[in-house]
Structure 1
């Protein structure tokens, strides 16, 4: 009887140890789903150039996204957006956390990019990249803020999310510098990363080629601009290794002059 009890104890102990050893393996193999989107909101105006935040709220709500990168975001900027805080208002309406990264801050008026997240934001940074200011009558390329980064923990999985708006000019030289800055900044962080934004260049543009060395373009095919009969693919969700893309699409809406891109991801 004593021998039998001893054997039972040994078998139970072995089972406990096996379960403990298997748990990290299961955790490592578990996929955490995440839906992300990128949307240039045109300072609240639609394809008809009429400011209508209700319309954009409806478009964003229809994406059912967990994390959204917004570009061309006014915060008390001027009359075109009724001097309102678009980042804060949209976050409140959608019940999401928000991090706003201004490109320009002038006497309380701000314009930039933002991240909305259903997950709590545990860290945020407004990085500088090379810019050619639209507010300077005689601009020269110089470091300026507006490359936003947030750190999230998605069901226990840490994630860095970045949102950017690259230079719009036909001359790609500023975008070349911005891509170099972006890669340098993102290389400082370890782990899983998602880059969202309006790159103002199509996937095969030479200035974007360095990005694709470290990142995967979630949806290389569908055009996003202009929203009415789009012909250019300039809005992006890009992911690092460790993130699988399960699907991506471009939403059909005229709530802005761009269409939003939405991607379903899995975090390993």
Structure 2
């Protein structure tokens, strides 16, 4: 009965809504998103500077950020720091970290060593999940393609609209076989969800790569008119913001920064209610 009562109240409020309120509710919602491979906070000068990484992100004014190559107590290269939590604190954003690798510490009692992807959000996060996709491990001397975690999903409530945000990092090898499997896994996972969906990340391939072709049957590439890698003098566009139906791309740019070996992709989006 309580559920029926709530539904009746919602219907009544809708019927009594003023034309102005109804018009406001039907307007598209603007959203600014960023995809950034942060190279564990190491810039083109070889220096670890997470504050510089945070400043590069802050300067874009992004509401949601998908990060790749994030260390959490991983190694001396990042001073064994929790980069996901520290960046979230510097930027006053919520964070979901999805490890690709989760290893025992080098010394007893230390935190587990993790490396993976993350999602930062200025908006409330309703649900998170670390999905498995096919990977060829860099930690195994004789790897074979196998399911492994590190495909992050966060359902973010953007001004009343639940948006599925995914952060991914596809295989870097010249042979596209593993990326082809990862694309198939990605589409299978995303097909379970409804409503606006955003797939962001380092795809390690260009838009024209045959292994990425299935993505373009269901997603739209924001397609900035610039390259992202390598950051000092980019010649490749391998970092992406892609969107599903119910999401329009208003603009896409590649902000200049030397805080990583990649430049990020910034997209201005419009969500349909």
Q: Contact (CA 8 Å) 2:35, 2:240: kept in 1 or not?
A: yes
1:202-256 C-alpha deviation (Å, 9 max, x unpaired): 0000000000100000025421000011000000000001001111100101000
Which position in structure 2 is the counterpart of 1:160?
164
Partners of 1:241 and 1:182 in 2: how far apart? 16
Deviation at 1:192, TM superposition (A): 0.5
Q: Map Cα deviations across residues 60-117 of structure 1 (whole Å, 9 max, x no partner).
A: 1111100000000000000000000000000001000000000000010000000000
- Deviation of 1:54 (Å): 1.5
1:64 corresponds to 2:61: yes
CA offset at residue 29 of structure 1?
Answer: 3.2
Q: Which residue of 2 aligns with 1:34?
A: 31
Comparing 50-59 with 188-197, greater Cα deviation is found at 50-59
Partner of 2:124: 120
Higher Cα Rg, which structure = 1
Q: CA RMSD in A?
A: 1.7
C-alpha distance in 2 between matches for 1:174 and 1:137: 17
Structure 1 contact 38–260 (Cα < 8 Å) conserved: yes
Q: Distance in 1 between matches of 2:176 and 2:20?
A: 49
Contact 1:221 1:233 in 2 (8 A): no
**Which residue in the other structure is 2:81 paired with?**
84
TM-fit CA distance, 1:157: 0.8
Distance 1:211 1:94, change over 3 A: same
**Do 2:224 and 2:253's aligned partners in 1 also have CA atoms closer than 8 Å?**
no
Structure 2, unmatched stretches of 5+, are: 1-12, 105-111
For 2:134 and 2:140, how far apart are their aligned partners in 1?
A: 14
Name the SS of the counterpart of 1:69 in structure 2: strand
Question: In the alignment, is the contact (CA less than 8 A) between 2:32 and 2:267 conserved in 1?
Answer: yes
The reply on whether 1:181 has 2:169 as its aligned counterpart is no
Q: After the TM superposition, which parts of structure 1 deviate over 4 Å for at least 4 consecutive aligned residues?
A: 16-25
